[in-house]
Amino acid sequence: MLSKAKHINYLIVTVFTVTMFFSCKNNFKEVQNIGILSSEPQTVAENINTKYTDSGLLVMNLISSKMLNYSNRNFPFYEFPDGINLTIYDEDRNQSNVVSDYAILYDKTSLIDLQGNVVIVTHTNDTLFAEQLFYDQEREWLFTNRPVRFRRQSEIINGNGFDSDKSFKQARVVEVTGRLYIDE
């Protein structure tokens, strides 16, 4: 009888141990996110002045008063609620400037969404004005289907939609609604 009781206790302890072993899971991500509300950013950065270099050469300089890091989401993104001022340098050290009131960078799609008073000025003084503009980092392509004003050396083109490579060599207003020639 005592042996039978020991055997039953042994079975109970074994079942309990096996149950505990298989019920445990790797919840490291959950532990990392303790204290982070799903609606809150993982980090907040203020007064950003980030310089990106490649092979020792300055490629771009990003200035923004605030960046919210939502990389803890299923669809991670970085938000710049107060806008950006971005200076881009090409291989010849020419600089172009991008300014917007608001920006958001989607990590998985490599898409940047610029909104509100978007202005791009190239090193050749081509200037694009838009309320919203997207930049596909993988294809290095700018586009929008919203109204734009595009100023080139001898003309100003108003229209709906814009497509261009990053150097503005293939820049075009999709649906031209007006054109003004400038006599310099």
- Contact at 8 Å (CB) between 96 and 88? yes
Nearest to 141 by CA among 112, 121, 106: 112
Query: What are the chain's domains?
Result: 39-181 (2.60.450.10)
Residues 138, 132: Cα–Cα separation, whole Å = 19
Of 33, 105, 95, whose CA–CA distance to 67 is shortest?
105
Token readout for 108 is 């998985």
What is the H or E stretch that residue 25 is in? none
Distance from the Cα of residue 159 to its chain's centroid: 26
**The pLDDT of residue 70:** 95
- Summarised one tens digit per residue, pLDDT across range 95-154 is 999 999 999 999 899 999 999 999 999 999 999 999 999 999 999 999 999 999 999 989
The reported pLDDT for the residue numbered 183 is: 80
Q: How confident is the model at residue 177 (pLDDT cuts 50, 70, 90)?
A: very high
